Structure formats: C-alpha cells, structure tokens
Amino acid sequence: MSGTLYPIDESDLSDAVSGAIGPLQILGGGTRPIGRIIKAQKLSTEMLKGIVTYEPGALTMVAKSGTPIAEIQTELAAENQRLAFEPMDYRGLLDTNGAPTLGGVVAANVSGPRRIQVGAARDFTLGLSFVDGNGQLLKNGGRVMKNVTGYDLVKLMAGSWGTLGVLSEVALKVLPASETQTTLEIHVTSWEQAVGCMSAALRTPFDVSGAATQCDKYGKIGVLVRVEGFEASVVYRIEQLKAKLFEFGNITELPDPWLEVKNLNSWKPLNTVWRISVRPTDALKILELMRLLQKDRGFQCQLDWGGGLIWIGLNVEQANDVASCTQVHESLQALVATLGGHGNLIKSKILSNLDITHFQPLPRAVSIITKTLRQKFDPRGILNPQRMS
C-alpha cells in the first residue's frame, strides 16, 4: 500500500476517490480511531484547510474540512464567539496525536456536555460539500440558519463517519460565547440520586448548559450543574438552582470542571471504554447491569447529558481477560438494543482485534435502509467500509 493521499483541493479529492482501486480509510487529523478499521489506502483531508468566510454578525462560518478545530476556535474567540456544541477532543482518552479537524468533528457528530442545551454538531452544520464514492463533488444545505430547500443530507452526512462521502467544506452556525459560567457540585450518595438530581435541574427554567457526574478517587459521586450567560443572570439562576437542588445533598461551587468532563483525559490509562446513549433514566439500568457483570471488580462511570450519555470504562484489573470483557460488551449492546439508543466500543486493547460489533447493531428494517443508502452514495463500497459496524 502506498503512502497517505493528501488531496490539496476539491478536484484533487474527487480524482483521488474516483481513481481509487480499493477501499479508502478517510482521515482528518486521525485523532478518533473508533469503530472497525480495515486495512486500506489512507486518504487525509488535512491539506484541505482554511476558513473560507466568517460573518460574526450572521453567526456563520464556512471552512474547509481539514481546518483544525483549534484554528476555528481561535478565530471565533477573537469575536467572542464559539462552537456551542463543545466538540470533545478524543486525544487524551484515546492517546492519539494530530489535530482534530472540522471534517472529523462533523463526520463523527462529535459534541460535548452543552449538547443537552443547544444541540449536537449535526444541529450546527448548515451546509456541506462532499465527494461521494464515485468521486462526484456534491453539495447540500447552505450557509444560512434556516434552510428546508430539498432533503437535509447534511444531517445524514453528519455522523456517517466518512462512509457516505468525504467532506470537503462545511458551513457552521456559531454562537456568542457566554460572559461567565458557574458550576455547582451536588454531593449525592447514589446513582439514583445523581440521575434524579440532574433531571430536577433540567426541569427548571434556568437554562442549565451542563448536567454530568464526576467521581472522586474514593468513588463518591458529584453531580455537576452548569449555568452560563450574563453575570447577573448566572448569579440569579445559580441561587435558584441551589434552592431547588439542596435536597439531593451538599452543594459547593466549583472551578470550571468541564474540560475534563468533555474530554475524559484522566481515562487515558483505562484499557476498555464504551460510550452509551439512552433515555436518561435508563442510565440506571446500564449501571445495574455493569454492577451485576463486574461484581467486586468494579468499573468507572461518568454520566453526561443528564444521564443520556454514559461513559463506562475498565482498567487493566477490571478487564484482563477476553471472555469477561466480551461478555460485558455483548451484554451492554444487548441491553441497549432493548432500551433504544446506542452502545459503541470506543477503545479496547482486549477486544479490538476480535470480530465484534464496535458500533451498536441496527434493527433489521433500519439496517436494510442503511445498506441501500450506502449503495447509493458509495456503490463500490470503498469509503471507510465497515467502519460503523
């Protein structure tokens, strides 16, 4: 296999795909090696970079897919704006190098804690250009905030992990950065209380922009509740929330903990990690299953999105044999199949070489639709084949 292809513009990208004689592994910065990755010719969008237009007054930015997220964030910060969906940086958790790119973030629909308030990457992607499996350059959406002209392929492409096309350009909606933030930590004594507390916070009209948990080294659970906005507003809302949430436990104010909540850098040493998305109150069923399976071996857990996002992690002592680790994996995906949602394997030294389903298997009807859609976008099946399986 020859070295990585680095197309320098859209026509070059189009040629690279149409000229491919076998499968391609599509890369941005290469910071998220998640899913099934088969041996293939690598194609990187890293040379397709640069901000094309940025209109702060219209809250929109258009940039090439290979543009590093860091560059975009710097540019936005200069105008006191931001990517409100708070994309997670996987480098710490997955121990990868490189620079996360805009294309990668959209292709994997990467979002962070603020998703519960403002939406995910897919909700902030206004339009995009991409090259399909035939090498055809296509576009969908635009660069305006509201657009229902034709089918919304933007959503379909967002989170398709490069299996339907290679993104070349993305138009984003951006939002003003908030003047200030305050985070409360509520010290609860059980996961039931943690989920109840987050649900109570999210039921208030106080625009909570983060509801997650964080465990200390003794396993004590802290519920984190964030409020952002103008100073006066944040002060008011925090006081109201304290009054509402004190019944769940002692409350303290914390210095900004959200970088760690979002990126899980401290989970780097863990050898196996799953990312699960279910109905928030179903988080308790996932945890109950884990307790049953792991018994005294234990496991790490972080809830985000009010319980709707569950990170499960095992360290070397907790996951040292193939059989029990496989059982956890299969049991999690089986339970999620009955609850609805997804349970994806994010990393595993033990499981990654086995023939397992990294991504949550699809229900039959959805699986047929998915397969047929892929055939339309990529008839030769060369774009990141099997990545989402």
Partner 1 sequence: MEMPQPNLEVLRKKLEIVTALLEVLPREAVIDNPAETKAYECDALTAYRCPPMIAVLPSTTQQVSEVLKICYHHEVPVVPRGSGTSLAGGALPTVDSVILGVAKMNKVLETDYENRVIKVQSGRTNLSVSGAVEEENFFYAPDPSSQLACAIAGNIAMNSGGAHCLKYGVTTNNLLGVKMVMMDGEIVEIGGSYLDSSGLDILGVICGSEGQLGVVTEATLRILPKPEGARPVMIAFNSNEVAGTCVADIIKAGVLPVAIEFMDRPIIEICEKFAKAGYPECEALLIVEVEGSETEIQDQMDRISSIAKRHSPIELRQSQSEAESAAIWLGRKSAFGAVGQVSDYMCLDGTIPVSALPQVLRRIEGLSKKYGLKVGNVFHAGDGNMHPLIMYDANKDGDLALCEAMGAEVLRLCVEVGGCLTGEHGVGIEKRDLMEDQYSLNDLEVQMSVKDVFDPKWLLNPAKVFPLSASENRRLG
Enumerate residues 179-198 that contact partner 1 by CB under 8 A. Answer: 179
119 binds partner 1 (CB under 8 A): yes
Binding mask 243-272 for partner 1 (x = CB under 8 A): ------------------------------
Are the CB atoms for 166 and 157 separated by under 8 Å? no
Residue 271 CB partners (closer than 8 Å, separation 6+): 314, 315, 316, 319, 347, 348, 349, 350
| Sole window of 20-28, 29-37, 158-166, 210-218 interacting with partner 1 (rule: CB under 8 A) | 158-166
Q: Which is nearer to partner 1, 81 or 271 (CB)?
A: 81
Q: Are strands 51-55 and 41-44 parallel, antiparallel or unpaired?
A: unpaired
Are the CB atoms for 201 and 185 separated by under 8 Å? no
Phi and psi of 57, rounded to 5°? Answer: -70, -20
Which of 36, 42, 139, 244 binds partner 1 (CB under 8 A)? It is 139
Q: Which is nearer to partner 1, 148 or 323 (CB)?
A: 148
Which of 154, 264, 303, 383 binds partner 1 (CB under 8 A)? It is 154
308 binds partner 1 (CB under 8 A): yes
Which of 14, 45, 67, 109 binds partner 1 (CB under 8 A)? It is 109
Tokens of 163: 């299996």
For the chain, first and last CA: distance in Å? 24
356 binds partner 1 (CB under 8 A): no
387 binds partner 1 (CB under 8 A): no
- Supply the minimum distance, in Å, between the C-beta of residue 23 and partner 1: 19
220 binds partner 1 (CB under 8 A): no
Which of 76, 164, 238, 303 binds partner 1 (CB under 8 A)? It is 164
Which of 9, 340, 349, 381 binds partner 1 (CB under 8 A)? It is 340
Residue 129 CB partners (closer than 8 Å, separation 6+): 10, 137, 138, 139, 167, 168, 169
88 binds partner 1 (CB under 8 A): no
Taking the alpha carbons of 168, 174, 177, 183 in that order, is the dihedral positive or negative? negative
369 binds partner 1 (CB under 8 A): yes
How many residues sit close enough to partner 1 to count as binding (CB under 8 A)?
83
**Which of 179, 171, 117 shows the shortest CA–CA distance to 305?**
117
67 binds partner 1 (CB under 8 A): no
| Sole window of 40-48, 51-59, 184-192, 322-330 interacting with partner 1 (rule: CB under 8 A) | 51-59
Query: What is the distance between the alpha carbons of residues 73 and 81, in angstroms, rounded to a whole number?
Result: 8
- In 32-66, which positions are buried (b, 16+ CB within 10 angstroms) versus exposed (e)? bebbbeeebbbbbbbebbeeeebeeeebbbbbbbb
Query: What is the distance between the alpha carbons of residues 126 and 143, in angstroms, rounded to a whole number?
Result: 6
Which of 181, 204, 266, 326 binds partner 1 (CB under 8 A)? It is 204
Q: Please list every residue from 287 through 306 that binds partner 1, using CB under 8 A.
A: 305
Q: Which is nearer to partner 1, 172 or 202 (CB)?
A: 202
